[in-house]
Structure 1
Amino acid sequence: MAIAAPLKEKPVQKPGTTVYSILVIIGICHLLNDSLQAVIPAMFPILERSMSLTFTQLGIIAFTLNMVSSVMQPVIGWYADKRPMPYALPLGLTSSMLGILGLAFAPSFLTVLCCVFFIGLGSAVFHPEGSRVAYMAAGSKRGLAQSIYQVGGNSGQAMAPLITALILVPLGQFGAVWFTLVAALAVLFLIYIAKWYTARLGDLQHWPAKKAQTETKNTSISKSITAALIIIIFLIFARSWYVSAIGNFYTFYAMDTYHVSIRQAQSYIFVFLLFGAVGTFLGGPLADRFGKRTVIIFSLLVSAPLAILLPFAGPVLAYGVLALIGVILMSSFSVTVVYAQELVPGKIGTMSGLTVGLAFGMGAIGAVALGALIDSAGLTPTMIAIAFLPILGILAVLLPSDQKLREWHN
């Protein structure tokens, strides 16, 4: 109580103020964090050769990274909603830095798994708290703020092909040691962010939390919120499984169908990820202008016919189709996070951890399930079948409108 009083008397930031400097810094940190995660799959060819790992062991490494970073996110977000942890951000990246350093010298499969666990843990801490910082700095432009934050992560993930070609191929496993410098830079940025975060804790505690207290008193609204969250989970499932299918298996489809080299096949993935980052950025401002529910519906339903077309496109047309799917489908990524945060106000960390963490977790499970489906049904039939996943976006029409959310909050 003694701390809260002076903060109320002298607020350091009004809710309507957008702090672009903080948004840019946290976006850069997101890029650095996710580029550290991108090192893991980028190292698969190196580890497979140097340690004679099987594809099953490589799958276990990927599963460990994604499950640790996803399952822990809502837990950490839930705890931080009750007790905000500004300095968890630099501590989380310190965990990732130690994991990357150990990975450069890891002598065995079990050691690699241990290092990957620390990297995943650091990512799990970073994402919900990073999303909270974006929310606090957003002011009235929450869609734009989440897009600035999220596009950093998508850009970091898209760097995997470059990391492989420019660093890991010539330097091998030891090349990962250079990414400790990336982690150290992120830690320095996040110490600055943590100081800003601490100074704004008063705003976070006495502004959104009060809304949540009145919101949960209405039983009918609580049931509607639960139903909307279930729909969001289905939408995340459809998007994550489709993205997992393209990111993990379209390379093999391109080599098998178009008879291209591994390097050429990777270029399709790079185009998809690059334009996905563009879509992630554009989605936020569009949501601020036209509404979050509108963007979510548009994203999935408009990408559905393109997804169905993709398996039948030629080797040249496929680049354009993948670019369009990336822009349109991923435009709802950051918007879904903001929608969930506004659906359950006062639970910023929990909702960002649930939506982003669920996306990672769904992607990890999807990779395993789709791989098994390819083994049993074949590559081409599976790629055709997953093209119908975005059609599940029709469920988005059942989501409460942005206007309805505002009525509930008020």
Structure 2
Amino acid sequence: MTGPTMASRPGTKGAPGARTPVRRLVALSWAHLLNDGAANYLPGVLPAVLVAVDEPVQMAGVLIAALTIGQALQPLTGWVADRVGGRRMVAAGLLLSSLGGGLLGVTRNLALLVVLLLMIGLGSALFHPQALAGVRSILQDRRGLMTSVFLVGGELGRGIWPTAASLVATHLGLTYLWIVAVPGLATVALVVRWAPDLAPRRRTGAALRWREHRRPLTLLLGYRSIRALTTAALVAFIPILWHVRGAGLVTGASVITTIVVAGVAGNLLGGHLADRLGRRPVLVVSSLATAALIFPVVYLHGPVVWVAAAVLGPVLFLTASPSVLIGQDIFPENRSMGSGIALGLANGVGALLVLVIGFLVTDADVMPVFWVVATLSVLSAGVALAFPRSLMH
């Protein structure tokens, strides 16, 4: 008897009794929401966490870097994911992210807090490459738009969870943050059942052509790192900005939620526009518009701030789906690795940059961070113009 083929493995197209692609996509998107929610709610409670561990605001960048640096492992976990196949890494990633997120509110020790943040980053590194490869395996047409649907799950988690966590911390206390981990832990079994069961590629995968990929890889890493820095800096330092202004946790967290949830529209639109117009216009417009819209969000006061945040969100997230597809197209011989570079490695580099610019913050002035981020966002438009035409279709 021969071993299972790609067509006969459970969870792949054509398997007898396989779940519909839409159901699988919804299940993976839901798991993505919970994974990224538990892994990214820290900014919403960051001022309170800094007080709990008795650290100054300059440590905000360090904690955000610790949270996201583990995602730099995604190219490695993507390489492993393609070779082991299955769906175990998706389930393991969701489990680690949820457990780490549930324990953040318990510790009052800085070293242990950093360990938990690194654990969450490792969970994200395990989850994303195999999940993205699974999404691609169940989609045949309109991959840009459908990949956006999956990414929207993560954006909703990153948007809703900071405000949810801030409400828990404000009304119940930090120790009750374990509540936000419960849905993710309960969904691990769903992932094991419904996520695509990918066939391993260790026998048929082509060797990685590093020399051929070097230039587009460098451009992608540069572009995505700046975009990751922009997003991480906004979600990290906007709550600090509002804390400096004397506002409560929920106020700063709600601005983040507005940006990220409104960004869902941009995520979907970015995939659609990339399918229709090509990827380059999406990348350039997103970079320039983001740079311009940062300032109304951080300088204005009153209800108009949330209006500006709702406009910033869509343009900030226009590039998510096109960037992932570019990464996959750079590495057709290992698409999980390509996804890992576009999301994980770039997020890791962006995390290191957040750590550096975090030291520009003082107890009285947060604004220098936003000027640096806006300037870099403009520069990223130039990087987008340098991508090879073959990747911009």
1:355 positional shift: 1.3
Query: Which residue of the other structure, out of 329, 335, 343, is the alignment partner of 1:348?
Result: 335
1:51 positional shift: 4.7
Aligned partners of 2:282 and 2:336: how far apart in 1? 22
Letter in 2 for 1:2: T
Secondary structure class of the residue paired with 1:399:
coil
Task: Report which stretch shifted further, 160-169 or 99-108.
Answer: 99-108
Q: Report if the CA contact (8 A) 2:75-2:337 is conserved.
A: yes
Letter in 2 for 1:324: V
Aligned partners of 2:52 and 2:243: how far apart in 1? 25
Aligned partners of 1:375 and 1:107: how far apart in 2? 23
Q: Report if the CA contact (8 A) 2:32-2:157 is conserved.
A: yes
Map residues 219-258 of structure 1 onto 2, 5 A cutoff.
223=212, 225-253=213-241
Map residues 166-177 of structure 1 onto 2, 5 A cutoff.
166-177=167-178
1:32 positional shift: 0.4
Aligned partners of 1:100 and 1:154: how far apart in 2? 17
Does 2:373 match 1:371? no
Change (3 A) 1:32 1:283: same
Q: How many residues align?
A: 387
Map of 2:197 onto structure 1:
197
Map of 1:82 onto structure 2:
83
Q: Deviations over 1:32-76 (max 9, x none)?
A: 0011113444444454455545546665443322112x1221111
Secondary structure class of the residue paired with 2:29:
helix
Q: Report if the CA contact (8 A) 2:45-2:162 is conserved.
A: no
Aligned partners of 1:358 and 1:352: how far apart in 2? 9
Change (3 A) 1:180 1:350: same
Change (3 A) 1:172 1:136: same
Give structure 1 stretches of 5+ with no counterpart. Answer: none
Secondary structure class of the residue paired with 1:197:
coil
Change (3 A) 1:377 1:361: farther
Query: Which residue of the other structure, out of 295, 304, 326, is the alignment partner of 1:339?
Result: 326
Map of 2:374 onto structure 1:
387
Map residues 89-168 of structure 1 onto 2, 5 A cutoff.
89-100=90-101, 102-103=103-104, 105-106=106-107, 108-168=109-169
Does 2:13 match 1:25? no
Map of 1:38 onto structure 2:
40
Map of 1:261 onto structure 2:
247
Secondary structure class of the residue paired with 1:387:
helix
Does 2:271 match 1:270? no
Aligned partners of 1:10 and 1:98: how far apart in 2? 28
Give TM-score, length-normalised by structure 2: 0.83
Aligned partners of 2:359 and 2:103: how far apart in 1? 32
Aligned partners of 2:46 and 2:366: how far apart in 1? 21
1:30 positional shift: 0.5
Q: Deviations over 1:67-97 (max 9, x none)?
A: 12x1221111122223324212212223334
Q: Report if the CA contact (8 A) 2:89-2:127 is conserved.
A: yes
Q: Report if the CA contact (8 A) 1:297-1:397 is conserved.
A: yes
Secondary structure class of the residue paired with 2:317:
helix
Q: Report if the CA contact (8 A) 1:65-1:120 is conserved.
A: yes
Change (3 A) 1:316 1:362: farther
Aligned partners of 2:34 and 2:337: how far apart in 1? 23
Change (3 A) 1:240 1:377: farther
1:158 positional shift: 1.1
Q: Deviations over 1:116-151 (max 9, x none)?
A: 333222221001111111111221222122211111
Q: Deviations over 1:251-299 (max 9, x none)?
A: 455677xx67345444433322222232112211222222223322332
Map of 2:66 onto structure 1:
64
Q: Report if the CA contact (8 A) 1:18-1:138 is conserved.
A: no
Task: Report which stretch shifted further, 138-147 or 313-322.
Answer: 313-322
Map of 1:299 onto structure 2:
286
Q: Report if the CA contact (8 A) 2:43-2:253 is conserved.
A: no
Aligned partners of 1:10 and 1:274: how far apart in 2? 34
Task: Report which stretch shifted further, 35-44 or 376-385.
Answer: 376-385
Aligned partners of 1:406 and 1:48: how far apart in 2? 43
Letter in 1 for 2:257: F
Report sequence identity in percent. 25
Aligned partners of 1:308 and 1:48: how far apart in 2? 26
Larger Rg: 1
Q: Report if the CA contact (8 A) 2:294-2:312 is conserved.
A: yes
Secondary structure class of the residue paired with 2:318:
helix
Letter in 2 for 1:293: R
Map of 2:388 onto structure 1:
400
Aligned partners of 1:264 and 1:5: how far apart in 2? 53
Change (3 A) 1:25 1:61: same
Secondary structure class of the residue paired with 1:279:
helix
Task: Report which stretch shifted further, 274-283 or 90-99.
Answer: 90-99
Q: Report if the CA contact (8 A) 1:279-1:329 is conserved.
A: yes
C-alpha RMSD over aligned residues: 3.6
1:28 positional shift: 0.6
Give TM-score, length-normalised by structure 1: 0.80
Aligned partners of 1:301 and 1:41: how far apart in 2? 25
Aligned partners of 1:265 and 1:21: how far apart in 2? 35
Change (3 A) 1:19 1:227: same
Question: Could you say which structure has the higher helix fraction?
Answer: 1
Change (3 A) 1:249 1:351: same
Change (3 A) 1:56 1:319: closer
Aligned partners of 1:171 and 1:291: how far apart in 2? 48
